[in-house]
């Protein structure tokens, strides 16, 4: 099989010739500091080192590295990424330094830090923090999802990749509904409103749905015919379980997020890869009903996320995308032998019957040694055969 056939077979719950490998997504990427160390270790030259995600400081992996690790995916990224920032120029807001996104959220870090030493940026100024009414939310200056400027030249690029390579083509995240309300209101306030004033969260989600629906229509009308997978974000859990009750999720969040999934499936013949960190077994049946075909990053260190158990319970209804090696413990702090053993075990659990795409669990962080990264991908390639 070629890479595209391999990825699509896995997504259709058929066993390909070998497990597909992903690297370079918004939750399967590598921090630029780790990337530079990796290039030096492998003696690979990248003359155009750059980031595609300002907030997470993720590097654009060069083609030589992707080929070295036998990666089956290639990413189609509109200008600016999900958090639309064209050129980063440090902007100071009080004690923070950072940038505003298209929704008015300020992504920052402490201004007394050296810019070169900042590892990532958090949502620290929330435009809805003082909003008390639905009217304020509806009257907000929402961004325009029909703006075509981020997609300039993208159709030609996607068409060329489709026709001249055999890689599966995947998008950056093209939507984020409930999770983005935590950036607009602030995390704690969004959770409180979800319980006490759900009408405010619903109004914000409806505004986000309008933007992301328009965005996907504009984007997929340009490149949808060339894509295999569209990614959507939506953290709903932490390591111990859901951050809200399942009743609230089913009543308030699920119907809105389902509308975006339906819109994407109507616009293009693609699979949807949904991002949700943490302990998610209680959500997985809902994800399948919504129309998500895959879920990442498969955080095996979280509660009730043991890989063999996940596969046994949910392997028929969802594709697992990620789950290769514990990126909180084994990958940054383990030995290469420990990494190899863990990768082999997790593959043995997750790959039977297809329905599995291998990737690091969320992004490879700045402190991870190059030797450990190579050990993970080399073990993947050693044990990926069916």
Residues in the chain: 386
Rounded CA-CA distance 240/341 in Å is 25
Are 376 and 327 in contact by the 8 Å Cβ rule? The answer is no
Q: What is the pLDDT of residue 79?
A: 78
In order along its 386 residues, the chain shows pLDDT tens digits of 999 999 999 999 999 999 999 999 999 999 999 999 999 999 999 999 999 998 999 999 999 999 999 999 999 999 766 766 655 677 899 999 999 999 999 999 999 988 889 999 999 999 999 999 999 999 999 999 999 999 999 999 999 999 999 999 999 999 999 999 999 999 999 999 999 999 999 999 999 999 999 999 999 999 999 999 999 999 999 999 999 999 999 999 999 999 999 999 999 999 999 999 999 999 999 999 999 999 999 999 999 999 999 999 999 999 999 999 999 999 999 999 999 999 999 999 999 999 999 999 999 999 999 999 999 999 999 999 99
Q: Which residues contact 208 (CB under 8 A, 6 or more apart)?
A: 176, 177, 180, 181
The overall pTM is greater than 0.95: yes
In order of start, what are the domains of the chain with their CATH numbers? 3-82+131-383 (3.20.20.210)
The phi, psi pair for 364, rounded to 5°, reads: -70, 120
- Residue 86 has a pLDDT of 52
How many angstroms separate the Cα of 64 from the Cα of each of 35, 115, 165?
13, 29, 15
Q: Exposed, middle or buried, 115 (CB in 10 Å: 0-12/13-18/19+)?
A: exposed
Residue 232, token pair as written in the block: 């959507």
Tokens representing residue 185 in the block: 């209101």
Of 97, 90, 66, 254, residue with least CA distance to 161: 66
Residue 163 dihedral angles phi and psi, to the nearest 5°: -90, -25
Q: List, in sequence order, the alpha helices (H) in the chain.
A: 3-11, 32-42, 63-68, 134-138, 154-164, 178-185, 187-196, 198-223, 246-248, 254-267, 284-290, 307-314, 330-333, 336-350, 370-383
Cβ atoms 170, 273 nearer than 8 A: yes
Distance CA 378, CA 120 (A): 28
Tell me the β-bridge partners of 320: 295, 356
Tokens of 98: 């950072």
Give 3-6 contacts, CB < 8 A, sequence gap 24+.
3/72, 3/73, 3/166, 3/167, 3/168, 4/72, 4/166, 4/167, 4/168, 4/169, 4/228, 5/166, 6/72, 6/168
């Amino acid at each position: 099989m070629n890479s595209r056939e391999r990825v699509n077979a896995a997504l259709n719950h058929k066993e390909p010739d070998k497990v597909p490998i992903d690297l370079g997504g918004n939750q399967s990427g590598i921090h630029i500091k780790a990337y530079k160390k990796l290039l030096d270790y492998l003696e690979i030259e990248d003359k155009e080192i750059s980031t595609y995600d300002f907030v997470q400081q993720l590097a654009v992996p060069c083609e030589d590295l992707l080929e070295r690790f036998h990666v089956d995916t290639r990413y189609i990224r509109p200008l600016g990424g999900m958090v639309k920032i064209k050129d980063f120029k440090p902007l100071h807001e009080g004690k923070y330094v950072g940038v505003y996104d298209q929704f008015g959220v300020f992504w920052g870090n402490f201004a007394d830090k050296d810019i070169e030493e900042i590892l990532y940026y958090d949502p620290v100024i929330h435009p809805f923090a003082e909003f008390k009414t639905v009217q304020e939310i509806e009257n907000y200056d929402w961004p325009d999802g029909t703006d075509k400027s981020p997609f300039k030249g993208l159709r030609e690029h996607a068409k060329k990749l489709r026709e001249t390579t055999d890689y599966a083509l995947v998008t950056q995240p093209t939507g984020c509904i409930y999770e983005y309300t935590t950036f607009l209101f602030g995390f704690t306030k969004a959770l409180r409103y979800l319980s006490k004033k759900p009408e405010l969260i619903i109004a914000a989600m409806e505004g986000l749905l309008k933007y992301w629906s328009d965005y996907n229509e504009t984007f997929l009308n340009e490149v949808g015919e060339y894509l295999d997978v569209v990614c959507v974000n939506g953290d709903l859990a932490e390591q111990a379980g859901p951050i809200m009750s399942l009743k609230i999720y089913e009543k308030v969040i699920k119907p809105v997020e389902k509308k975006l999934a339906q819109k994407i499936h109507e616009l293009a013949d693609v699979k949807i890869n949904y991002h949700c960190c943490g302990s998610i077994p209680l959500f997985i049946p809902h994800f399948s009903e919504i129309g998500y075909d895959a879920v990442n990053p498969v955080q095996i260190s979280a509660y009730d996320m043991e890989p063999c158990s996940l596969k046994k319970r949910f392997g028929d209804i969802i594709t697992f995308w990620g789950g290769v090696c514990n990126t909180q413990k084994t990958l940054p702090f383990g030995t290469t032998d420990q990494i190899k053993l863990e990768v082999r075990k997790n593959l043995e659990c997750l790959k039977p019957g297809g329905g599995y795409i291998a990737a690091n669990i969320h992004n490879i962080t700045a402190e991870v040694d190059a030797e450990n990264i190579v050990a993970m991908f080399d073990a993947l390639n050693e044990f990926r055969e069916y």
